[in-house]
Structure 1
Amino acid sequence: MAKLYLTALVLVCFHYFAVSDFQGDALYAFKKALNATSSQLGDWNLNHVNPCSSWSNIMCNGNNVTAITLPTMGFTGTLSPEIAVIKSLSTLNLEGNYITGGIPAEFGNLTNLVTLDLGNNSLIDQIPSSLGNLKNLRFLTLSQNHLTGSIPETLSTLPSLINLFLDSNNLSGQIPEQLFQVSKFNFSGNKLDCGNNSRWSCDSDSTNSGASNKSKVGLLAGPISGLMVTLLLVGLLLLLCKHRYKGYKGEVFEDVPGEIDRKIAFGQLKRFAWRELQLATENFSEENVIGQGGFGKVYKGVLADGTKVAVKQSTNYERLGGDASFLREVEMISVAVHRNLLRLIGFCTTQTERLLVYPYMQNLSVANRLRELKPGEPILDWPTRKRVALGTARGLGYLHEHCNPKIIHRDVKAANVLLDEDFEAVVGDFGLAKLVDVKKTSVTTQVRGTAGHIAPEYLSTGKSSEKTDVFGYGIMLLELITGQRAIDFSRFDEDDDVLLLDHVKKLEREKRLNIIVDENLTNYDIREVETLAQVALLCTQQSSASRPTMSQVIRMLEGEGLGERWEEWQHLEVIRRQDYERMQRRFELGNDSIYKQEAIELSGGR
């Protein structure tokens, strides 16, 4: 019997290593093809045979790899077809990198795949028809690449598909009729023919309704000597297994789920245990607070695997609308995936806690780098500020024009634009964001936002649109140029404008824009400063209809179309100024006639 047990254990270990080896080999080949650096996937090491033990960005069920999540890592290589041997894979997310080459036809062998996200890369060639073999696929995102050719008819045969995003490629031909039955789709930014579905404009959102038991092996009594030998052999095998399985973590975290979990069903997000985040943040130490606002606090933390995170703790979820705000932020960030938008790693909910987990942005926010520098920290130089302006515009442009339904952020400001390790802009804090039906031009709601950044039409009517964000973006540009806050009451004592926008307008009329530049900047091109200021003033016009869209802003920042719009703005500004001065004179003259009439009445007979 002891021999039988030993044989079984040997077979188990052999299977363990065999499974680990082929998965590890495939993943290592995948890493090499992506041109991953040692700092990116340094723990993907063939000396650690089992990827499920200690490799980062990997999720497993037992020893089977089920998810690979590598968004916005900066990869510049290609996709290795060898990954297709991991048949247990259900999620493959490589969004927001710089991956080139084509999509391997072998990906059609990943028959358990539920989510495939290759959006926002530089992929070329045609969409392989073999993807039609992925009968379990529910979420397919290939947006913002350089894919060509027609949409394969085989995608129409996918029975589980509910989200299909192919926007912003170079696709052509007619869209297969059946794909308009998918719950959510986006085909915009291509050269596609909608066929009989022109009512969707090729870019709409369909409104169709549309731990296992383990066997136990026991030891039976036998001769003492035989049993001792067996135990020694078993001990050696277990020691070998333990040595090869280096990533074992002795502490298992569990939490009692809150009611809100029933409403959250985002497969790509990780559900953290509260204890896990408590340890990561050193018991939510005040020394780890990196941000604070009406929503609560944000803590810097380090997970057990060494990943640095920012943990946002909601303190107002018990108030009216608090849980709705929490759910809104989860939904928004899960829907909107772009290299210039903050990525949500996961969440934690208990009966008393609501926590969101994001990647840690070591350079904090633009506002922090402009106005809260510690001694010895470098300032944001001019080239970085220009990159921030363009990156923020691209992130907002994606929300407005590539999400379906589109998303209005409603609180665009320097404090909500974060900076990653390369000082690239990442738009965050979606707590006030709003999903907007593409058939509606505006949404009426309670006014929310930050004073000095709120568009006038939103403040007066409660109606917000994407032009509300454009206004906030314009104010953010002025913050970048000047380093100042949107409202500064210290200027009140200097007989100057409290609002930064009015202050800049006044200096522009006086042709003194050079004096508004952040005094911390020592090396900049005044012509580029004027360009950014002109874009800011176009974005902050009183009339929302006169403001540019974010895609137009991007083109202006890239050197296209600014001159004509600026000349028109100056002409209208002169007319507006003349009208204002004319009304002011009439008001003063009216007051004078009133005073004269009063003087005549007083000097008359009594």
Structure 2
Amino acid sequence: MKLLWFWVFTAASLLFNTSSFALTQDGKTLLIIKGGWNDTRHVLKNWKASDPNPCNWTGITCHLNDQTVRSINLPYMQLGGIISPEIGKLSRLHRLALHQNSLHGYIPAEITQCKDLRALYLRANYLQGSIPPELGNLLNLVILDLSSNSLRGSIPASIGHLSHLRFLNLSTNFFSGEIPNNGVLGSFKNGSFTGNLDLCGLQVQKLCRSSLGFPVVLPHSGNDASTVPPKRLSHYLNGVLIGAMSTMGLALVVLLAFLWICLLSKKGKIGKKYTKVDKQLDHDTGTKLVTFHGDLPYSSHEIIKKLELLDEEDVVGSGGFGTVYKMVMDDSSIFAVKRIDRSREGSDQIFERELEILGSIKHINLVNLRGYCRLPYSKLLIYDYLALGSLDHFLHEHGQEERPLNWNARLRIALGSARGLAYLHHDCCPRIVHRDIKSSNILLDANMEPHVSDFGLAKLLVDDDAHVTTVVAGTFGYLAPEYLHSGQATEKSDVYSFGVLLLELVTGKRPTDPLFVKRGLNVVGWINTQTRENRLQDIVDKRCKDVDAETVEAVLDVAARCTDANPDNRPSMNRILQLLEEVISPCLSEFYDSHSDC
């Protein structure tokens, strides 16, 4: 009898173990998705049916209550292949991060079956086709980043239905047509759409045309006649024609023809404002104006007149390369103008050609260079105006009194700045070394989003053999040791400067703060001392009330890697961006979703 019970118990145990360790349905789905990828680095080698718990697989996290897949985090993994439609079977997926890979094919419409999706990162792949209109059904979506792909077609109006959407980046694709202005789509500005030359609409301040070629949207035009929609004008003319046909006859036909010719003439003049690179030269005065992207909706006469009127009352700041002015147009649009105080030796033609390269660079976290003007007495660069000014001013001077930088805002600034710098290092051709990363070169817009400024100017405006002190005078606290020694800037010296910027965000102190100097240390040495003594509470800015120790330690760890004394040990900006996204993005996603601090 005992032997019988033993065999019954053994059989039951085997049956129980077999059922308990069977691969979950989400696990089976993940294996199908893996089958569509080309995993050249074998990062997914532990995705296998013999491991019944997919929650332990690389890049996978699960919900604790039922072990269903919560997030897929696989950026920078060099994954090729396609995104399988099976992704739609992961019904409780909150986050899908596949950015900076080599995926191609289409965005599967089935992804919209993931009704709980909060964050979708597909940036910097080779995805083709259009945005599935069904994405408008992902009502919980907070972050949507499809930038730097080969996507085409129009932007679906259904995106406007995503009422929780707080971050949208569709830049650097091949989208075309008018950007819908419904719902949340009306709240996103030019930065979300840059690099799509065939897009038009209010968000990008660019003229749209009807199928007949007439202006449909013309922002910032001071000419009332040119802003009358052709349809209204046509109705008006038809009414006049019908009312007067019995008395005017042939005379009105002649008048109609005359008005038609005038309208076409106006249309032609308006269209000329939107050339992609517009160059105007006055041979008598030597004045030259070059505008990039075709997104300055003003005549050259209007712009030059405003530039000539700038004086000391319009000064808003100064930097290593010149004075910055605030230029207000007649329609109240505002631009920043940097007057160049010095330039490297060489012809104006070479200088302007290199400026055109800088003007072609557009990214949501880079300050947009709108144009260049050469006046008889100065050279002027025209930029977008950022309402909150520099991070340095906001963090250390008056900005904090009116609108303190909480921990969440600092995380967003760190992440956005890393994205902009990584774009310069890895996505521009030729790659751009900034040379002067510092808080005064991080500008903040009205939504506290960061934009890296002055990229490319250090190389453009200073001789290659110039001594380092003439390049970055006044910013030694950010300089890498090897840069100070040799004067040779590299991507790794930019990485060091970015690490110091991270420390500045955490501590709320400038790198040259007297607290460090009087101890014979720089900010890096001071942080190392405080960390060894486990004095985290003395490191974090006392004005920042909502910090949590876990993310502070993670950011400090990234900063430590950036500021390693050996440049060979410092990670690339792409790797730094990956590390920060792993730490920060889930926190921001949850913040946007719950509308509370991390």
TM-score by length of 1: 0.48
Which TM-score applies when normalising by structure 2?
Answer: 0.49
